[in-house]
Amino acid sequence: MGRERRQMTSRRDEKPFGAAEKQNGAFRPHRRKTRLLWAALLSVVLAGLVLLVALSRSPDDGYIQQTALTGDLTTYYSFSGSVIAPERTVSVAEGPLTISQLYYREGDRVEKGEAVLKTSDGRVYRAGMDGELWGLTLSKGQTVPAGQTLFSVVDYQDLRIRIQVDEQDVAALSLDQPVRVSIHALGLTQDGRISRIAREASGQGGVPYFEVEVVLSQLPAGLLAGMSAEVKLENQSVTDGVLLPVKALQTDDQNRPYVYYVNEKGRMDAKYVTVGISDGIYAQIQQGVTPGETVYLPVEQPQSLNPMDLIREETE
């Protein structure tokens, strides 16, 4: 009896087969479901954030705004040249001679007909015009071969600007046409007018050009022959035109200009415009943009030259 009771007691203390496994793993399926639920919830939150960012993104993100202005615009022809002294006479030795007398030195001012030097055989060389002696480096007793230049007389009070004009631009020039002249060495700009246009072209390297001379309204102090100058004259102009910075304009693969803008649906769009004159900084917009309208310049230029490609990327 005693043995059987002990055995029965021992059986009551024993747990049924599998009870321990159930106790240790009873919550594992529940935990797995919880993790899946949290993962799904996190995915929904992230998707919502992405959608929120997309919906809140301004259509002009990635663009620089440019506003169309109303104003005047003028374009100019610009030519480089130099200061010259066109009026001068040159005296040349008619034959071998020896200098017996010098009446003036280089830099002296002479009047037309005044004797400048005398030779040993009694010949006298005189000034051919009023002006300043230039190139007179001879000395008494010096022998000079035939054909050598003895001296020049230059009128440095009649300095002008000489420019070279391409054959395609010369038709735009006319005598007495007003111009603006900049003297780089003196740092000044003043008015002038065209005084001479060559009737025949000169050539250099096979490219024909015409020599044109400009007289200044007044000679500035310090102006010397040989100084560089720039001559500008009006080409085209517009008053109260619609203007955009040139950098706001795009061109397609056929070189047609267009701009980006935000359409009535709030989306970025592109449209072609008609461009008039341009000075390289601003361009006149004849059609396609109104005063005060905002257009957009992409921060990163599209690889394609088709203006609609970027718009398709924005809407996809």
Domains within the chain, CATH numbers bracketed: 63-73+238-315 (2.40.420.20), 77-84+158-235 (2.40.30.170), 88-154 (2.40.50.100)
pLDDT in tens, 61-98: 678 899 999 999 999 999 999 999 999 999 999 999 99
Q: Give the pairing type, strands 63-67 and 274-278.
A: unpaired
CA separation for the pair 197, 162 (Å, rounded): 10
pLDDT of residue 54: 40
Instruction: Count CB atoms within 10 A of the CB of residue 136.
Output: 19
**Residue range 115-154, pLDDT digits in tens:** 999 999 999 999 999 999 999 999 999 999 999 999 999 9
CA distance 78 to 181: 10
Give the C-alpha distances (Å, rounded to integers) separating 268 from 62, 64, 242, 291.
11, 12, 22, 19
Q: State the pLDDT at residue 8.
A: 40
Q: Supply the mean pLDDT for the chain.
A: 84
pLDDT at 4 over 80: no
Calpha distance 289→250 (Å, rounded)? 14
* pLDDT band per the 50, 70, 90 thresholds, residue 271: very high
pLDDT bucket at 206, cuts 50 / 70 / 90:
confident
Q: How much of the chain, in percent, has pLDDT values that exceed 70?
A: 76
Distance CA 155, CA 286 (A): 51
For 266, left (φ over 0), alpha (ψ -120 to 50), or beta? left
**229-256 per-position pLDDT tens digit:** 999 999 999 999 999 999 999 998 889 9
pLDDT band at 19 (very low <50, low <70, confident <90, very high): very low
Q: What is the pLDDT of residue 1?
A: 42
Q: How confident is the model at residue 10 (pLDDT cuts 50, 70, 90)?
A: very low
d(CA 20, CA 200): 117
Q: Which range is least confidently modeled, 133-142, 182-191, 260-269?
A: 260-269
* Stretch among 176-180, 199-203, 304-308 having the lowest mean pLDDT: 304-308
pLDDT at 300: 72
Q: What is the pLDDT of residues 27-62, one digit of tens each?
A: 455 666 676 776 667 776 665 544 444 434 455 567
Instruction: Please give the model's pTM, rounded to 2 decimal places.
Output: 0.63
Among 17-26, 144-153, 191-200, 264-273, which stretch is predicted with the lowest mean pLDDT?
17-26
